[in-house]
Chain A
């Protein structure tokens, strides 16, 4: 069942990418949105909503990171840190931890703002660094943040984290035990994230990012404030992650430092790489594929293999082998990703034409 949803979503994305007609693209997108909104109500259960909600959160995260890596060309290997900041914002302010029970909806905004602030704080001194160095500094930041949450036991519950987080309410109605509301919130989040991504790509700021990515020196000569533009990318990207963190924490009703390690950052980078960095639709496809592989295919593969060979192998053991192989394989054989952005594609087609852009 979950594969059916994933398949339809991916097929629709590919169709949007292939069609040149703007109206057709919009029609497919609307049909897909309607399908994803209504379908699971009739053909679905809690487990499916749960996987779909996770997938939706990851799509949001990937769209946020895409702004940093795909648009501005800054490799951020510590993106999970902002995810952690968002999650702990909810964990600390909507739980018995301090007896604060701030509303979920307000915390979505607060987490976005806090994550953006930390993005700017990290970026201000480090965004002067080039390429690999920036990657390593962000990696270091990504290692430090969960560690700090782990060490400040008094405030964060230490290695055990904070449990029994508040169940959000919507106009007085509690979300209850169902995960369904998170799915719909994340779906709305994706629509917003897609809209913002598209706006940014076509904007003055988006052109500045493109220029910086292509040739930083030439960008400076055009009068672009390189540092400020990069900071904007960092802050905006981080804010997506902060919102994702709140959703994640509220759905799980738990935060703990080990949920936000380097693997999470690399997982999201893998989604971008797989789908095609910089291309909004490609990134959505990449994150859908990896989340489904992650939370549906691998666990089921396990029981499938066990049933057919009477073994008890644990295939969740090879998650990282699979991610690693995806990263290496894509870089070696299809560096532009499954659905490359129009620049890369044009490069490959070796011709100058571009279709009218949606």
Chain B
């Protein structure tokens, strides 16, 4: 029971991170029908920018008392900003020219961008994992039989707050409505005066910002950052987005938590070395039996 609850907490924590990354995949897929393969690496970039800011602040003996809170906020803000700009930059430089190209072209481009980012991050921070500054104190809290770390609570709370904010942004704001319109029908949206290029750019900004948040909480949660983190996490998150129904925001969150739980429980039951196999088997099964995902709608083929 005790172990079960611990794994549950772990799964939720992992799931929160996957959900944040999955949202980035789903937003971009919803609007461009592109699997932004480089998204996982944007997440890695987020981890490292937060890490660099925190290391610098720690070296300046800034991280005490109120400075600690400020430092965390600053690291998070820098990660968000850096990732948003990076993601939008990739769209502007690489994907935008390929909107009318055959389907495989943008995907292959995205894979190329992903390789370049991974390599650049490796050149910047080295091939070994870098410890992430332990900024959030992590006493264990006991809630009944459940033992959770403060870090876990912070990670999950931050992720959920971000998702709620995103939900309201997409549902309520003018920009959010424009995003949904462009996702539904790009030509019609441009006919009613929506600036499609700008809307797509903003979608990439937001997806990048979410990856920034994920990068920060991922760094806190795993205690390290590694240049290849984004590859595995990205694939899991993409699986989550597909599981929930790609293009569907609530689906990406649901899928994220389900994949997080699957990973933590499969690690518990059959060992961590099988968790990849478990996750990808789920991906294949979902795509085969319910390609539209848990919350997605299936559309008839256009003739």
CB atoms of B98 and A332 under 8 A apart = yes
A140-B283, A143-B276, A332-B94 known; A324 vs B291 contact (CB < 8 Å):
no
How many angstroms between the C-alpha atoms of A143 and B186 in the bound complex? 35
How many angstroms between the C-alpha atoms of A325 and B114 in the bound complex? 10
Judge whether A147 is part of the interface by a CB distance below 8 angstroms.
yes
Count of interface residues, chain B, beta-carbon cutoff 8 Å: 45
Judge whether B268 is part of the interface by a CB distance below 8 angstroms.
no
Cβ-closest chain B residue relative to A139: B235
How many angstroms between the C-alpha atoms of A140 and B35 in the bound complex? 14
CB atoms of B111 and A327 under 8 A apart = yes
- Could you show 21 A-B contacts with beta carbons less than 8 Å apart? A73-B104, A75-B107, A131-B103, A131-B104, A132-B33, A132-B103, A133-B291, A136-B238, A137-B284, A140-B239, A140-B283, A217-B303, A269-B108, A317-B122, A318-B119, A321-B115, A327-B115, A328-B112, A328-B113, A331-B98, A331-B109
A126-B284, A327-B108, A332-B94 known; A136 vs B115 contact (CB < 8 Å):
no
| A150 partner residues in chain B, CB cutoff 8 A | 273
**Listed residue (B106, B108, B291) with the most chain A CB atoms within 10 angstroms of its CB:** B108
Judge whether B142 is part of the interface by a CB distance below 8 angstroms.
no
| B103 partner residues in chain A, CB cutoff 8 A | 131-132
The listed residue (B35, B109, B117, B119) touching A332 by CB distance below 8 A is B109
Judge whether A262 is part of the interface by a CB distance below 8 angstroms.
yes
How many angstroms between the C-alpha atoms of A319 and B118 in the bound complex? 11
Cβ-closest chain A residue relative to B289: A125
CB atoms of A323 and B287 under 8 A apart = no
Cβ-closest chain A residue relative to B274: A151
Measured CB to CB, the closest approach of chain A to B80, in angstroms, equals: 25
CB atoms of A144 and B242 under 8 A apart = no
Judge whether B288 is part of the interface by a CB distance below 8 angstroms.
yes
CB atoms of B35 and A324 under 8 A apart = no
CB atoms of B111 and A266 under 8 A apart = yes
How many angstroms between the C-alpha atoms of A126 and B291 in the bound complex? 10
| B101 partner residues in chain A, CB cutoff 8 A | 331, 335
Cβ-closest chain A residue relative to B246: A133
User: In chain B, residues 122-155, which have Cβ atoms closer than 8 Å to a Cβ of chain A?
Assistant: 122-123
CB atoms of A136 and B114 under 8 A apart = no
List of 8 A-B pairs having minimum Cβ-Cβ separation, nearest first:
A327-B112, A324-B115, A324-B116, A140-B280, A321-B119, A328-B112, A320-B119, A324-B112
Judge whether B2 is part of the interface by a CB distance below 8 angstroms.
no
Judge whether A135 is part of the interface by a CB distance below 8 angstroms.
yes
How many angstroms between the C-alpha atoms of A147 and B279 in the bound complex? 12
How many angstroms between the C-alpha atoms of A125 and B115 in the bound complex? 29
How many angstroms between the C-alpha atoms of A282 and B33 in the bound complex? 29
A75-B107, A136-B283, A328-B94 known; A217 vs B115 contact (CB < 8 Å):
no
A-B contact count (CB 8 A): 119
Measured CB to CB, the closest approach of chain B to A120, in angstroms, equals: 15
Cβ-closest chain B residue relative to A277: B104
How many angstroms between the C-alpha atoms of A266 and B109 in the bound complex? 12
The listed residue (B112, B235, B291) touching A331 by CB distance below 8 A is B112
CB atoms of A135 and B112 under 8 A apart = no
Judge whether A80 is part of the interface by a CB distance below 8 angstroms.
no
Judge whether A326 is part of the interface by a CB distance below 8 angstroms.
yes
The listed residue (A129, A318, A319) touching B287 by CB distance below 8 A is A129
Count of interface residues, chain A, beta-carbon cutoff 8 Å: 41
| B114 partner residues in chain A, CB cutoff 8 A | 324
**Interface contacts beyond A137-B287, A331-B101: sample of 8 additional A-B pairs, CB < 8 Å, sorted by A:** A132-B103, A266-B115, A319-B119, A324-B114, A324-B117, A325-B116, A327-B111, A331-B108
Measured CB to CB, the closest approach of chain B to A348, in angstroms, equals: 14
User: In chain A, residues 299-358, which have Cβ atoms closer than 8 Å to a Cβ of chain B?
Assistant: 317-321, 323-328, 331-332, 335
Judge whether A83 is part of the interface by a CB distance below 8 angstroms.
no
CB atoms of B238 and A326 under 8 A apart = no
Judge whether B174 is part of the interface by a CB distance below 8 angstroms.
no
Measured CB to CB, the closest approach of chain A to B114, in angstroms, equals: 7
Cβ-closest chain B residue relative to A138: B284
Judge whether A185 is part of the interface by a CB distance below 8 angstroms.
no
| A253 partner residues in chain B, CB cutoff 8 A | none
Judge whether B5 is part of the interface by a CB distance below 8 angstroms.
no
How many angstroms between the C-alpha atoms of A217 and B303 in the bound complex? 9
**Listed residue (B98, B104, B283) with the most chain A CB atoms within 10 angstroms of its CB:** B104
Measured CB to CB, the closest approach of chain B to A298, in angstroms, equals: 13
How many angstroms between the C-alpha atoms of A139 and B113 in the bound complex? 17
Judge whether A273 is part of the interface by a CB distance below 8 angstroms.
yes
A140-B283, A332-B94 known; A151 vs B273 contact (CB < 8 Å):
yes
Judge whether B61 is part of the interface by a CB distance below 8 angstroms.
no
How many angstroms between the C-alpha atoms of A128 and B120 in the bound complex? 37
Measured CB to CB, the closest approach of chain A to B229, in angstroms, equals: 14
CB atoms of B108 and A324 under 8 A apart = no
CB-CB contacts of B194-233 with A at 8 A, as 1s and 0s?
0000000000000000000000000000000000000100
Judge whether A183 is part of the interface by a CB distance below 8 angstroms.
no
